[in-house]
Each structure stands twice: as structure tokens, then as C-alpha cells.
Structure 1
């Protein structure tokens, strides 16, 4: 099957994303203000709504694709919370391992890093043989970009592809917000180009879908060209204990902290504290305090002061 005539998109910023580049924009001093924009961020946090609708327990059933399979399950990029690696670096290594063979990509993801999504899209588009993308449950946000790279895309009848405009956390005065809006426009245009090339829909129609955040069910995805066919129901399984996966709750916490203005570096330190489980030295004399990681207590203290 010949490759679809789709543009090769190249990331135009580094992997940290716009969500964190605002603070260093032109390296100028900016007033300390609370964040007023955050709809998932270009940097690394998938949209909260996508996490609410994502079932991390969905996996591919045993198939006959052999070892020419790449799985993209969870957030796009390198996930601080769960140590999941869905980065372009890993996908590139998997493609080199597979070599010049047809490849199948299993996707079940609420989204994540916009630029990692673009890079993975490019890698899959440049693969010399056919790429089949199977959406196992959800391909939202950055994961939907990756899905568009498939020569053949399959989605379950009860599955979804979600597309929306790019977004960022912005801090500053009205001039900074206007500058941020201008900065985001080329990325929205890039998304419209990718989705339009895959579906054949006019860019104006795609832009309207991006503006309203479109959730596209399986049958509609096939009808509109986001997918080629429905995925058989027996191609998927659901693990017995989906609640055992901490990713949805962890990422909701990260999104809440980001909305409240906690810098990325502080959130990463907090995550390390929570994972390490090391009690604060000041708590050694407090009965029961050593049972709770200091970072977790900090997170809980922060959450109790947040008005949601």
C-alpha cells in the first residue's frame, strides 16, 4: 500500500514545550502572577478530560503480528509519575529494531507532549514499509497526531479519537497573553494540516473541530476519514484490576499543581519525594508522621489550600 500523501511535520521547539517556555520568553522579567491559562499545556500534561475518559486497563489481545509491534500506552513523552517512556527516542529505537518490515502500532493514550507527538508522527511517516495503527481505546490530543501517521488506522466502535487546539500555561500581562496567542496560531495550523491531509476534510472544517475540542467515536472516525476501518472487539482485552494503575490520579494531581502555578522543577522534586517515601527529618519525633512521605504531605497540604 502506497504511503498517503501527508506532510512531514518537524517539531519547531524543544521538548519542554510552550507551557514552560513562557516564563523564559525573551528572558525578560515578568510579574509574579497566578497562571490563568491551562488547558492541558503543550509541555507534558494531557488534558484532564482525556484522563477522565481514558481506561488504562485496555490492552491488545494476543495477535499474529509477531515482534513487529510498537505499543504506545499512557501519556506521550517521558512520564515522570509512572516512568512510562513513550518518547520519540524509544519509538525510533523500536523502528530500527523492526527494520524494513511492516509495523503495527497499538495506541491507548490520553495525550501528552505535543512535540514528542510530532516527532513520533514523523518517524512513523518516514518508515519505509506499511504502518498500521490500532487505537485500542482512546487516542486523544498528542496521541491523535501519532494515529494520523498510519497507512491504515483502525479504531474500535466504542473507541475515540480526540482533537483540540494546542494549549499552554501563560503568566504575565496583557501583552504577554497577546504574544502567546500569536505564538500558538502556527501550531494550530500545523494540526489542521495533518488532520486535513489524513481525512481529506477542508482545513476550515478541521479548524472548527479543533476549536470546539472534538471527540470522534469509532464509526464517525471511519466516516470522516480519521480511521479506515473498525477494530474487531476481540482485538482488545481489559485487565482485571484497572484501579491498580496510578497514572490517571497522578496526572490529575500534576495538572492541578500546574494550574496553581507550581513550576515544573518543583513538581518534579515533589514527585521524587513521593516516590522515595523518605520522611522529613522534622517529623522523626512525631508519632505516625514517618509513615507518610514528606512530599506526599506537601502535595496534600497544597491540595487542601486549592479552591477547585
Structure 2
């Protein structure tokens, strides 16, 4: 008759305080002591229950203590895989024996420790079977399959799968001491001897194995002689094999208590000054008794009580005040900008009317540098190079404002009919066609929706860098040459935006090749019209051609928003746009002008250089893809960079803009060669 089932494992969740000592939020400890899974001698709890309880553990660290001589191979494999899958960091502690499939489970740890007096054994799976030759061969094949599966688990630690498979198929029991297991890479470290290791050989039924090391043979023989003859060799409920180790050692308990006393002391110190406040004493007691409450967390709770129903003494606004240095820098900058005509002069500015040399000396004085008795060349040089002088940064600030002023004031027209884009780097980018989805397909009742496809017709956009250098030297300061860092940067700002305009209009006149291998303006694209002067009829024909553009079978109905013409054709274009009657229909025509006020005229003299007769049409860039002007990280303004001069005796500046221009869709642009 079978005996009452005895659990071969125990799972204990550590307290929050014990977990904190380990440096983790939550921890658990598992004891695998005894036969694993379906026992050789008695009915036990199956591995399925073990795996379920393991999966229910919500911890960041799990310690598995092993003292087992083996058991069921399928159950051992299931336990190994469950431990490997768990999110926690698993540490294996081999306290006594890790024999047979117990050694396989030991391999599941992220870290494996082995007591100095423990023992590990690896051998091939084995079983009892009876039956005919076919059934015996089937069992042999099954054992080989298990051996192959187990070899992968051992090899995950040792890195040598063929060697592990050899250990599992040679029919021998391979025992390892802690030193030998460490040398073979089965374990990561050797720990102090465990008392349970010494008793394991005495209390566990080692006589089931045919080959034992000498030390284990002696212990097993003594245990067999002492055992009652009527009882089979097996694990008893009261043996050391079924009982988890004793409570933590005294030193570990002392460490936990010391840590808790320190925690309580820090909480008391934080709360002491406020003990008379309402609710503080109760909160202190609550925090001290909560072992999971750190001194920092307790302090935050204390602040919540102290700050309850209180408002800031400064009100709801924080005001940052300028110091004298900030005021001086601001005044100097505005005085220089006023002299350059960039901003309006303020009568209260104390630096108004200062020369550049005087401003340089004032900067040195604020920096604590004594310049009395020095000539201009010397103290102006010091104003550029002294570590605490702000003179160079003031000039850079003025130069940047002047540059941006020039950039903003430049008369450019490309922004009206192009769109601004953004690129994160200098790699080629792709733009998806806005007309990629001209219409939606009908979905019948109960039918599935279908995915739309985007072709590879999207055009490539690419950035480039454009820039120039200029410098401000000591001679310019001595000569009070304000143009050096106001007018020159302003002109460079204008040059920056003019560069972008050059690139845009070069697209119209250069007629680049699109991604389909055809030029932007080409009869194949149906956007290159028969040559003719600007008139009601030719403008209407261009608008009709743009409206009839297709994407597959779908007509896009694109509206022409702009007529882009060279300076030589501006007058004619404006007449066609504003005339009440049809232009070029006859001298005394009374036919209404069908294109009156249907477009805007954009004039640019760059077009005259290429052709004084060619003119172009463009759709609105708000709703259509025309030409994109891409900027690095979307920064449309030029950048001013400063560096202390080495090649010049002063400061060097670099004006830079990162941009790229690309046509996106030929259907939104049209050309008449005139």
C-alpha cells in the first residue's frame, strides 16, 4: 500500500526587509529536497504543481536550494524550462546532492553555487521496463531522446554539447566534487561547507546507484546498516532530505536587525523636529513599523503632511532677475544694434554712443582685468582672449541678430509656391506622393477591406551645407568699424536665403530627371505645353492640362494656383490675370476673360537668365507636392558659429545653412516654353 505523499519542494517568499538586504524589491526561496516529481518509492506531488506555483511568484530574485538524488526526467526537464523562463534572476545553491536529473535542474540558474562538501552527478536517463523486443527498443529510443534534450541544457553552461551528450550516453555515473564541477564550468562558485551536505549521504537512498565515490559508498553502507530491515530504503518524512534548512544563521539575522534599527533611526531623526505637528507622530509609527518603508519614502510622506493646505511664500510665479552683468551685456548689444540701424536707440542706455574700443575696455573692467596704461591693440586683444571677458560673445550676438535681420528682409518669392520640409540628417530621404491615394475602393456589404499599396515613385530629398567665413580682428575694433560685424553678417544672411532661392529656380530652368527616369517637364508627363505667349487661351490650356493629370485611372483635378514668369513677362501676366476681357482674342474683343483672378503672378529675374519667354504654372504647395525645400531638423534660418581666431588676430565666424531642394511631383508643375 502506498504511503502518504510527501512534498519534495517548498517555496517561501521573503519579507520586504529580507529582500531589501539582498538589494532587490521582492525575493523568494525554493527548496528542492528529495525525489523530484513521481518518486521511485512513493506517490509525490507532480512537477505540474511546482511549475504553477513558480509562475505565480512575482519576484525579481529567486534562490533555489537543491539536495536531491534525482527523480523523474520529464518533470526535471519541465522544472528546468520553467526556471529559465521566469523573469527573476535565479541563483542555484547546491546544498548537498545534485544527482541525476537534479543536476539538470541546477543548470537552470543564472548563477550556480555549490557547497564545498556537496556532490554533483551526471548520467544518462534510465528506467525499468518489461515487454517484448519492440517495446524495449522503443524505451531505448525514448531514453536517447531524453539524453539529447538534456545535453543541450548542460551545454548551455559548458559550451560543449558533444561532450555533454557523451556523458549522457556512455552508461556511466559521473560524479563531481565542487572543485571538479567548477573546473568543468558546471558551477560558477564554491561556497562554504553546508551541514546538510554531510548528512545527505547518510539520509538519502544512494544505494539505487551502481557506482559511488568512496566517500559516498562508506556513508551509504553505514546508513543501510542502521536502517530497520522491514523498511525499504527511501526518504522518510522526518529525514533531513525532506526538511528545509534551519533558519538563517545568527550572523544573517543580526545583519537584518541592524539594518532595520538603522532604518528606524533615520526615520526618527527626520520626524523629530516636527513631532508636535498634528499627524506626524502617527505617521512616524506607521513608517517605522512598515519594513518596506525606506527613510526616503518616509521623508516624502512627512513633506505631504507638512505642506498640506500651505501655499508658497513666493506666490505662484517664479521671477528670475537680471544681475548687473546681464544688464551690461544687454545694454552693450542694444547699443551696437542701434548704431547699426537694426533696432531703435533707447535714450536710457548707458552704453549709447560708446565706441568699440570703449566697449572692449568696459568688458575687461567687468571681468576684473585692469587695462589702465595699455594701448588699444593690447587691451582689445585681451578683450578677445581673456577667459572672463564677454566682449567676443557680445559681438557674436550682434552679428547673429544682424545676420537674421538680413535673412528676414531679403526679397524672395520661392516660399510662396514651395513647401518647407525637415530631414534629421544628411542621408537621402524619400517623400511619399500626396496623390498616392486618389480615391477609395468600394467595399461590398460583409466584404473585407483591402490594404492600399504605395509605389516607389516617391522622390528623393537630400541635404547639403552652404556657408562662408568672416572675421572680426583688432584692427576693425580700433577703427570702430561697425560694418565688420553688422553689415557683413546682414549681407551673409541675405546671401543664405538667396542661395535657397537659386536652388529652387534652378529646378525650373534645369529640368532635372525625376525618379521615373523622365525629365520634370516632358511631353510624357503631359506638363510641357506647345509654345505660346501668355494669353487667356494659353493660361487656360495650362490650367486644363494640370487639372487632367491622373494617378492611374483617377483624374486628380489639380488647380493651378500660381503663374511663375520671368521679369520680362510680368506685365503681360498681370494683364491676363486682371483684364476684364479675353487677352489676344482680337483688338476689340468683348469676350469675358475666363482666367481672370484665377491665379497669382510670381516674378523672378533668375528665370530671365535661362529664358525670357518661358513661363510656368504651379499648384498650391499647401495641398499638393510641388517643390520641397528641406532643412536640417527644420531649422530654416542660417546658423552663426564662432571660434577664437588662430589665423586672424580676433574672432572668426562661420555662417552656415543646411538645406536641400527637390521637385516632388511633376503633375503639380507645368511649363510653356513661350
Spell out, residue by residue over 1:61-105, the C-alpha distance to the aligned partner (whole angstroms, 9 max, x if none): xx96686101101110154867764734135314523x1311100
1:132 equivalenced with 2:91 (yes/no): yes
Corresponding residue number in structure 1 for 2:82: 123
Q: Determine the C-alpha separation between the residues in 2 that align with 1:241 and 1:188.
A: 30
1:100-158 residue CA offsets vs partner (Å, 9 max, x unmatched): 31110000100001111111111100111210000001111111111110000001222
| TM-score, normalised via structure 1 length | 0.53
Q: SS state of the match for residue 196, structure 1? A: helix
Q: Distance in 1 between matches of 2:39 and 2:78?
A: 16
1:251-289 deviation digits (Å, cap 9, x = unpaired): 96xx9xxxxxxxxxxxxxxxxxxxxxxxxxxxxxxxxxx
Q: For residue 56 of structure 2, give the secondary structure of its aligned residue in structure 1.
A: helix
Contact 2:68–2:98 (Cα < 8 Å) also in 1? yes
Secondary structure of 1:77's partner?
A: coil
In structure 2, do the counterparts of structure 1 residues 83 and 244 end up closer, same or farther at CA, with 3 Å as the change threshold?
farther
Ranked by relative contact order (alpha carbons within 8 Å, sequence separation 6 or more), the top structure is 1
- Structure 2 counterparts to residues 253-268 of structure 1, below 5 A: none
Quick one: distance in 1 between partners of 2:38 and 2:117? 28
For the pair shown, the structure with the greater C-alpha radius of gyration is: 2
Matched-pair contact (CA < 8 Å) for 1:70–1:91: no
- Superposed CA deviations along residues 198-250 of structure 1, whole A, max 9, x for unmatched, are 2112x2211222223211211111111110111222xx3349988996x639x
Which position in structure 2 is the counterpart of 1:73? 33
User: Paired residue for 2:131?
Assistant: 172
Q: Is the partner of 2:126 in helix, strand or coil?
A: coil
Compared CA separation, residues 243 and 185, structure 1 to 2 (3 A): closer
Q: Root-mean-square deviation (CA), in Å? A: 3.3
Aligned to 2:116: 157
Partner of 1:178: helix, strand, or coil?
A: helix
Residue 92 of structure 1 is matched in structure 2 by 52
Q: Using the alignment, how far apart are the partners of 1:81 and 1:184 within structure 2?
A: 21
* 1:194 has 2:153 as partner: yes
Preserved contact between residue 92 and residue 123 of structure 1 (Cα < 8 Å)? no
The equivalent of 1:282 in structure 2 is none
What CA deviation, in whole Å up to 9, does each residue of 1:16-43 have, x standing for no partner? xxxxxxxxxxxxxxxxxxxxxxxxxxxx
Q: Relative to 1, partners in 2 of residues 1:243 and 1:217: Cα closer, same or farther, differing over 3 Å?
A: closer
Specify whether residues 207 and 109 from structure 1 end up closer, same or farther in structure 2 by C-alpha distance, changes over 3 A only. same
Correspondence 1:18-29 to 2 at 5 A? none
Task: Output the CA distance in 1 between the equivalents of 2:157 and 2:201.
Answer: 35
Residue 106, structure 1, aligned to residue 47, structure 2: no
2:169 aligned with 1:248? no
- Deviating beyond 4 angstroms after TM superposition, the runs of 4 or more aligned structure 1 residues are 63-67, 78-86, 239-245
List alignment gaps of at least 5 residues for structure 1.
Answer: 1-62, 256-295, 300-308
Name 2:188's counterpart in structure 1. 228
Q: What is the count of residue pairs matched by the alignment?
A: 188
Per the alignment, in what secondary structure is the counterpart of residue 155 of structure 1? strand
Tell me, yes or no, if structure 1 residue 208 matches structure 2 residue 141.
no
TM-score of the pair, normalised by structure 2: 0.25
Secondary structure of 2:176's counterpart equals strand
Instruction: Give the match for residue 217 of structure 1.
Output: 177
Q: Deviations over 1:171-203 (max 9, x none)?
A: 1233332232223221111111111122112x2
Give the whole-Å Cα distance in 2 for the aligned partners of 1:167 and 1:80. Answer: 12
What is the CA–CA distance in structure 2 between the aligned matches of 1:240 and 1:223, rounded to whole Å?
22
Query: What is aligned with 1:4?
Result: none
